[in-house]
Amino acid sequence: MKKRKTITKITFLTLFAVLLAMPSACEIVLANGSVTFGFAEPSHIQAEPEITEPDDLPYDEYYEEEPEPEPERILEDDPLEGIDFDPQPENEEEVFTGPPLLLPFNPHATENTDPEIMIALHGINAGGTTPEDFLLYPQTDFGFSDDYAEIEGITTFRGNNFRDTASFGYANISAGSFGERWSRNTGSLVAPTGTVWTGHGWSGQPLIVRWPQETRAIMNMHDWAREQEDLVEVIYPSMDGFIYFLELTTGRDTRDRLNIGFVLKGTGAIDPRGYPLLYVGAGYVSAHGPARIFIISLIDGTVLHTFGNNDGFALRSLWHADASPLVDSENDRLFFPSENGLLYILDLNTEFDPDAGTISIDPTTVRWRFQGRRSHTNGQFWLGFEASPIIHRGHMFLADNGGHLICLDLNTLQPVWVKDVLDDTNTTPVLSIENGHPYLYASTGFHAGWRAPASGSAPIPVWKIDAVTGEEVWRTDFSAYTVPGLAGGVQGSIAIGRHSLDHLIFVPISRSPTISSSTLVALHKETGEVVWEHRSSTWSWSSPVVVYNEDGRGFIVHTTSNADIHLFDGLTGELLNRVSLGRLIEASPAVFESTVVIGTRCQRIIGIELT
């Protein structure tokens, strides 16, 4: 796998001390998934622009009554005061330049995270048989998140195997505002049940790729798109059953939309090797049959393979697949968890001939399943994965609908540790390596009736977890409400800071502190203390995106369900700008350099410039 250079500066003395003191390293990751509805005008807006809302929307949504504005929480003592987040070496001659160290990762359970506490059984099906001793070969071994993709762009949900970014490149933000925008209409799809699916829903993040010209030359793009010297393409599966292909800065169609005929409400993935392959799961039954997972050629739009439906090895007969998969580039291997409770591992056996303009696959499949001790008790704690997987070295971190956070050895398919995350967990965690040690930042949702009645509230913990053992490092609790079918808690995914924001994480909490509101909160990585928070009077399922200027200054892009898009100063929480994009947004944006792309439930894909 091609490695992208990442440069770290450290003195020789510091490096020597770190190596002596370093424990065995490991990393963690969680997954994503859930959705919610609601509307109202956001509160606590500083220096708000005047907002206009278009009146040509395709349908009316139910608007919740706007709660009274609540004062923003301001900490009297700044926990960051006196901390130098960009220390400089005392002697430039001692600076060591080289790649970061990829340390061994040897996770293990503790008395609290022993898998037997929560898992009743687990099993493997390989090629239709159940092996007594299983070993994946060649063995999977993922590295740093910056090395995940060989092609420029956002190729999976939250960018890579750590799920630590939905932005690519640097923005050029000087005014702290939103500028020019484009929009592309989408449509709707009526399912056999009569349910109408419109536009883009949760998690619904676009994929954005800068294709090399030689790859575009063999694709079914319009002539102008194939021939353009530089082209960045937005690839956006939609709940109307189509996949849209758009030029990043104008929204112009780069090729005809592709009709799949299934509700595509999760986030797909593009092959990180730059191969013209798209992996995407359907999220609902269709007139064409049960939901399933698709592998699609981006040369001509051919469906090369489907799987995940009517699978007799599954312990849950729900074939939806909202998670976004990961690809082991070195071993030509796909990892795709499903809501039926199975993890699918496909050796793709890909044959890609760019000169001939052909691509084919011949997959072999391994399936892994488990049953929790509380799974499906009283109709609760379902099996199934909606969150997207994280992989570090040879281990996967998966959160599920039944409140399990699992560290799984991918090469033996044995659970290493399991943490109780309390509730239906759709949010995808994020993995962070800090001083050589892997940690997971994770949270959960509030499913009505599981931990509290729908009329009540429930605690929503945000955890920092040691990825080696599954033990808590710290926990910060918030309170949230819920609505049946439109859950509260953390449904979007946690964003992690880099550069000037390296000490912060950003957590979107839906239906908190009231049933119709939401809070975006910045927490300190070391302590879990609240550094700043911003309250909006409408709920949010969207995941915040951290964007940086070349000087390292960080900004937060975040959307709420009433289709407001916000731009915050990441360090202080100051609201720099807010613009209305129409009506309901459940999806999560992605950012390529200075362009934000987001889909709405009111049947629009919108691109907007950061200025």
SS3 per residue for 448-482: CCCCCCCCCCEEEEEEEEECCCCCEEEEEEEEECC
Give residue 89's pLDDT.
Answer: 45
CATH architecture under which domain 29-71+116-610 falls: 7 Propeller (2.130)
* Domain-wise residue ranges, the chain: 29-71+116-610
Q: Tell me what pLDDT residue 40 has.
A: 31
pLDDT band at 24 (very low <50, low <70, confident <90, very high): very low
Grade residue 198 by pLDDT with cuts at 50, 70 and 90: very high
Q: Which of 18-22, 101-105, 107-111 is predicted with the least confidence, judged by mean pLDDT?
A: 18-22
| Per-residue pLDDT at 441 | 98
Give the pLDDT confidence score for residue 11 in this predicted structure: 38
What is the pLDDT at residue 186?
A: 98
Spatial contact of 117 and 556, defined as CB atoms under 8 Å apart: no
Whole-number average pLDDT of the chain: 87
Q: Is the pLDDT of residue 141 over 50?
A: yes
* pLDDT of residue 116 exceeding 60: yes
DSSP notation for 145-160: GGGS-SSSEE-STTSS
pLDDT tops 70 at residue 512:
yes
Residues whose CB is less than 8 angstroms from the CB of residue 139 and which lie 6 or more positions away in sequence, other chains included: 394, 411
pLDDT at position 99, please?
A: 65
Residue 196 has pLDDT above 90, yes or no: yes
Q: How much is the pLDDT for 85?
A: 43
Q: Single out the residue of 406, 271, 281, 408 nearest to residue 333, CA to CA.
A: 271
Return the SS3 of 289: strand
251-308 residue pLDDT tens? 999 999 999 999 999 999 999 999 999 999 999 999 999 999 999 999 999 999 999 9
pLDDT in tens, 89-106: 444 444 444 567 889 999
Taking the C-alpha atoms of residue 369 and residue 343, their distance in angstroms, rounded to an integer, is: 7
Q: Picking from 125-134, 318-327, 431-440, 542-551, which range would have the lowest pLDDT averaged per residue? A: 125-134
Q: How many CB atoms lie within 10 A of CB 190?
A: 13
542, 488, 586: which is closest to 198 by C-alpha? 586
Based on its alpha-carbon atoms, the radius of gyration of the chain, rounded to whole angstroms, reads 23
Task: Give the DSSP letter of residue 20.
Answer: H
pTM across the whole model:
0.85
Structure tokens at 13: 């003395």
Four-point Cα dihedral 494, 500, 502, 503, nearest 10: -90
pLDDT tens per residue, range 338-376:
999 999 999 999 999 999 999 999 999 999 999 999 998
DSSP state of 187: -
Comparing 29 with 64, which gets the higher pLDDT?
64
Q: Is the pLDDT of residue 79 over 60?
A: no
The identity of residue 521, as a single letter, is V
What pLDDT, in 10s, does the model give residues 29-57? 323 333 333 323 333 323 333 333 333 33
Lowest mean pLDDT among 22-26, 155-159, 323-327, 383-387: 22-26
Q: What are phi and psi of 12, to 5 degrees?
A: -60, -40
